[in-house]
């Protein structure tokens, strides 16, 4: 059986493939040498792996577009939390490495746990340029998963200087050089202007508040980076971690931030072969808001804290250029880690927990702090409700992505639990009874009857994350040309009872099969093969002269770094199976000028 | 009551991880089954019979009905009675690290010394050490700030550093002396030291109470005297003599809720 590597037939499954409009139809999926094809010849069929998926749910492999799984802050979380590790261990097998860690697992365990849960693609949400080598080292060591990392640029000295001067072209040149140099995938913007202020123990609180020394405002940075993003035509839009994150009443600044890019045109100028899809697989959004739960707070203090999700959702329902991921809170231990240094300090002042704080010279910062979300806590209960509200109150599932902002709101292995709440009102009501009464009193969640279907679930965990970040040319669907990444859940859609909550959670946690590139990688939660994943990054180009001009500035200012210019880039050897995505290639760049 | 006797065969080289030695795992098992229980030694999983001669009076009906008696030098056997909920273990000599760690109920009696981490993160039951013991008795494990939450530890001899680190509940009594940082990060529970302490007593404590009946050689700076008491009570225990009462640790919090008694000099 399976003489041809990566050639498989998945027969008679109920297929959910939203980018192709397939909603539970009985269908065969053919994969030849790792890629989905319309059919296989009878000779190929003889040599292929055949899986009978009758009465089962077949979906594209899971795509996580926002997770913290590689890099220095993740490792800082591991280092400062031995207690997170000795109680969660994974023994070595003939095939797999040992591993440990519950909220911040070691790289091997992360790869296995994601794959066992049906996910095949995971993107690291925050890579400081200076820490790119470390991030790539961890991604290189992560088994199975296809990965990439977004580069943090919202408080970068060069970007702030160019945008203050209004020099979008040089900012674009710098960004394109940085993405190539550090093998980054897209632009992440964390608390724009605020993290720089944190170097002087301050933050910014309004979109038009200029920061210290650079005198640039969050609004200018968001607008500027989004323009750079669309000028270069990157696969993903600007990925925004809004200002005032984690503060009561911050839903307004989140909404106002999303308005900044309104009216801009989404332009993906990557040169790629796109798999066949019925719907457009290209992103519509010009801003992708990270972990909306942490930016959808009402009230004015922790005393009158309440959900602001309904207000934020109201705006998002009116527009077509916004996507959010939820950053939901499923309760239990978490390790908060963000590039938002001041937000982490605020958490430290509230909790008194152990806390680490880092300044990444010239570029950004970060903080790490362990946290347990408790059902008995009024605030945590509201956070739980908000994390579900942002998924349920935004009507169009193509504007939402389900995450826990792993490991900030919760850990990725809690996705099945989270999906159960989204798919069953009963599950939500049951949990609300165990929570502090603020959960329903201070949110609208109790009045929400919506329950996600399997089709919608496939949108928010596969199709939309892939489309939002520009990976839907090969991920998040099962059209011809897509990667042969498939999850087969032991769920018969004809007999699905979302109110049997523990059974649903268990089935979502341990799919019958996780298939990557046409090969079975996990079977009922057990890892059965360990291929190496790919590392995606963007190679955008701008006019050569412009780049030379920009590099002069960079070299001039490089004296402020403690690293030498020659040691700054990430060498190719740091990437295993690299996939460079060419963007805005020279000819077009020249013509544009 | 079924009695199971484990006699150590020869001196143990690489330390053995013996969480399999507990009334729960022995209950209902005969001699051969107990001998076949696996323990880790370095990278290998080996049967108990490799290290112990086992005598059993017959399978016990339940953990409550199980009494384990261990003989010989057990100082290189770790995690005896870890997580036990009922029954009893009696150790006729020294015991190794993590003795009775996370135990929930039942009792352990050690006639010799015990290693570090004895009663670590213990939740209930009684751990009585007749000799001295190592560091971190009744404390939280690495990285955690939540130590023992319930039960009782009695040390007839001396204890070393970080006794009751992160203590959140239960009671620890040391008849002898302790060294450094006794009750560090304590948030509840009680520690009674009949002898002296070296330094750092109650550092960063934010709840619970500590009494030191002799001297604290170097008191922590974050403690403020709140009064003097004659024969105060530490929980149920009546102390004798005049004590100075302190609140702290103000180095951690402006609203410190820890109490420290020290014998008046």
Taking CA atoms, A175 is separated from A238, A385, A537, A549, A572, in Å, by 12, 37, 13, 14, 19
Calculate how close chain A gets to B253, using CA atoms only, in Å: 9
Instruction: Give me the residue from B143, B252, B253 closest to A81, CB to CB.
Output: B143
The proportion of chain A whose per-residue pLDDT surpasses 70, expressed as a percent, equals: 98
| Residue A525 scores a pLDDT above 70 | yes
Calculate how close chain A gets to B27, using CA atoms only, in Å: 25
Q: How far apart are CA B95 and CA B116, in angstroms?
A: 10
| Residue A4 scores a pLDDT above 90 | no
pLDDT score at B265: 82
Decide if A80 and B142 are in contact by the 8 Å CB cutoff: no
Query: What SS3 state is found at A316?
Result: helix
Query: What SS3 state is found at A171?
Result: helix
Calculate how close chain A gets to B44, using CA atoms only, in Å: 13
pLDDT score at A593: 47
If you average pLDDT over residues B196-219, what whole number do you get?
Answer: 96
For the question of an ipTM over 0.90, the answer is: no
| Residue A1 scores a pLDDT above 90 | no
Q: State pLDDT tens for residues B89-138.
A: 999 999 999 999 999 999 999 999 999 999 999 999 999 999 999 999 99
Query: What is the average pLDDT value for chain B, to the nearest integer?
Result: 96
Residue A291, both tokens:
């972990």
Contacts of A204 (CB under 8 A, 6+ apart): A191, A193, A194, A197, A211, A217, A218, A243
Decide if A81 and B141 are in contact by the 8 Å CB cutoff: no
Residue A386, both tokens:
């908000």
With an 8 Å Cβ cutoff, the interface of chain A facing chain B consists of 80-86, 352, 354
Q: How far apart are CA B103 and CA B79, in angstroms?
A: 10
| Chain A residues with CB-CB distance to B143 below 8 A | 80-85
HSE-up of residue A479 (Cα within 13 Å, Cβ side): 21
If you average pLDDT over residues A321-334, what whole number do you get?
Answer: 98
| Residue A589 scores a pLDDT above 60 | no
Q: State pLDDT tens for residues A269-279.
A: 998 999 999 99
Contacts of A112 (CB under 8 A, 6+ apart): A90, A96, A99, A143, A144, A522, A527
User: What band does A588 get if pLDDT is binned at 50, 70 and 90?
Assistant: low
The reply to whether omega before A349 is within 30° of 0 (cis) is no
Decide if A86 and B141 are in contact by the 8 Å CB cutoff: yes
Q: State pLDDT tens for residues A338-352.
A: 999 999 999 999 998
- Burial (CB count within 10 angstroms: exposed 0-12, middle 13-18, buried 19+), residue A252: middle
* Cβ A89 vs Cβ A100: under 8 Å: yes
pLDDT score at A5: 79
pLDDT score at A87: 87
Decide if A82 and B141 are in contact by the 8 Å CB cutoff: yes
User: What band does A591 get if pLDDT is binned at 50, 70 and 90?
Assistant: low
In A, minimum Cα distance to B121 occurs at A83
Q: Any idea of the CA torsion for A249, A255, A256, A257, to the nearest 10 degrees?
A: 110
Decide if B142 and A86 are in contact by the 8 Å CB cutoff: yes
Query: What SS3 state is found at B172?
Result: strand
């Amino acid at each position: 059986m399976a003489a041809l590597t990566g050639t498989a037939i998945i027969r008679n499954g109920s297929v959910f493939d939203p980018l192709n409009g397939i909603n539970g139809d009985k269908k065969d999926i053919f994969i030849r040498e790792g890629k989905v094809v319309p059919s296989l010849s009878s000779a190929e069929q003889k040599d292929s792996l055949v899986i009978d998926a009758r009465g089962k749910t077949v979906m594209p492999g899971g795509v996580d577009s926002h997770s913290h799984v590689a890099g220095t802050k993740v490792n800082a979380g591991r280092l400062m939390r031995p207690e997170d590790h000795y109680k969660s261990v994974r023994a070595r097998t003939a095939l797999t490495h040992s591993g440990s860690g519950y909220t911040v697992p070691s790289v091997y365990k992360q790869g296995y746990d994601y794959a066992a849960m049906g996910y095949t693609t995971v993107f690291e949400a925050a890579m400081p340029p200076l820490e790119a080598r470390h991030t790539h080292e961890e991604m290189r060591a992560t088994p199975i998963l296809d990965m990439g990392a977004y580069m943090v640029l919202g408080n970068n000295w060069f970007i702030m200087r160019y945008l203050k001067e209004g020099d979008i072209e040089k900012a674009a040149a710098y960004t394109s050089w940085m993405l190539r140099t550090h093998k980054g995938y897209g632009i992440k913007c964390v608390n724009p202007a605020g993290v720089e202020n944190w170097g002087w123990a301050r933050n910014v609180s309004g979109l038009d508040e200029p920061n210290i020394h650079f005198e640039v405002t969050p609004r200018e940075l968001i607008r500027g980076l989004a323009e750079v993003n669309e000028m270069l035509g990157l696969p993903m839009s600007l990925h925004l971690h809004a200002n005032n994150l984690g503060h009561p009443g911050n839903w307004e600044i989140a909404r106002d931030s999303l308005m900044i890019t309104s009216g801009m045109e989404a332009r993906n100028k990557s040169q790629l072969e796109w798999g066949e899809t019925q719907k457009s697989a290209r992103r519509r959004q010009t801003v992708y808001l990270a972990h909306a739960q942490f930016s959808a707070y009402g009230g004015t203090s922790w005393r009158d804290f309440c959900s602001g999700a309904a207000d934020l959702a109201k705006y998002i329902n009116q527009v077509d250029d916004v996507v959010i991921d939820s950053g939901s809170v499923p309760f239990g231990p978490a390790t908060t880690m963000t590039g938002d240094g001041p937000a982490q300090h605020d958490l430290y002042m509230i909790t008194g927990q152990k806390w680490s704080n880092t300044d990444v010279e010239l570029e950004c910062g970060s903080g790490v702090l362990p946290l347990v979300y408790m059902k008995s806590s009024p605030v945590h209960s509201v956070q739980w409700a908000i994390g579900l509200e942002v998924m349920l109150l935004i009507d169009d599932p193509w504007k939402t992505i389900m995450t826990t902002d792993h490991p900030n709101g919760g850990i990725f292995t809690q996705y099945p639990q989270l999906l159960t709440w989204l798919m069953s009102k009963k599950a939500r009501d049951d949990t609300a009874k165990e929570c502090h009464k603020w959960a329903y009193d201070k949110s609208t969640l109790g009045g929400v009857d919506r329950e996600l279907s399997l089709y919608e679930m496939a949108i928010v965990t596969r199709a939309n994350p892939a489309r939002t970040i520009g990976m839907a040319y090969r991920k998040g669907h099962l059209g011809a040309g897509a990667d042969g990444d498939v999850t087969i859940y032991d769920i018969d859609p004809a007999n699905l009872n979302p109110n049997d909550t523990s059974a649903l959670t268990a089935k979502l946690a341990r799919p019958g099969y996780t298939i990557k590139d046409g090969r079975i990688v996990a079977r009922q939660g057990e890892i059965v093969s360990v291929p190496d994943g790919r590392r995606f990054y963007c190679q955008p180009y701008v006019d050569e002269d412009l780049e030379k001009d920009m590099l002069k500035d960079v070299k001039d200012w490089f004296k402020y770094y403690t690293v030498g210019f020659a040691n700054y880039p990430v060498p190719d050897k740091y990437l295993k199976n690299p996939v460079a995505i060419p963007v805005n290639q020279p000819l077009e760049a020249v013509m544009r000028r | 009551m079924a009695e199971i006797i484990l006699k150590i065969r020869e001196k143990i080289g690489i330390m053995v991880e013996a969480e399999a030695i507990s009334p729960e795992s022995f209950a209902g098992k005969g001699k051969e089954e107990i001998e076949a229980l696996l323990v880790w030694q370095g990278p290998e999983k080996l049967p108990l019979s490799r290290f112990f001669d086992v005598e059993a009076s017959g399978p016990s009906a339940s953990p409550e009905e199980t009494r384990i008696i261990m003989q010989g030098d057990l100082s290189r056997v770790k995690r005896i009675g870890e997580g036990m909920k009922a029954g009893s273990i009696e150790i006729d000599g020294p015991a190794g690290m993590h003795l009775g760690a996370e135990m929930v109920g039942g009792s352990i009696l050690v006639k010799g010394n015990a290693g570090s981490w004895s009663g670590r993160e213990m939740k209930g039951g009684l751990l009585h050490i007749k000799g001295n013991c190592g560091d971190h008795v009744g404390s939280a494990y690495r990285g955690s700030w939540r130590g023992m939450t319930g039960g009782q530890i009695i040390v007839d001899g001396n204890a070393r550093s970080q006794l009751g680190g992160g203590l959140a509940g239960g009671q620890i009594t040391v008849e002898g002396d302790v060294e450094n940082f006794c009750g560090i990060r304590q948030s509840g529970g009680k520690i009674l030291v009949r002898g002296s302490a070296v330094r750092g007593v109650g550092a960063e404590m934010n709840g619970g109470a500590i009494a030191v009946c002799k001297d604290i050689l170097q008191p922590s700076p974050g403690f403020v005297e709140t009064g003097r008491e004659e024969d105060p009570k530490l929980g149920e225990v009546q102390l004798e003599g005049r004590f100075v009462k302190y609140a702290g640790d103000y180095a951690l919090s402006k609203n410190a809720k820890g109490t420290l008694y020290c014998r008046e000099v």
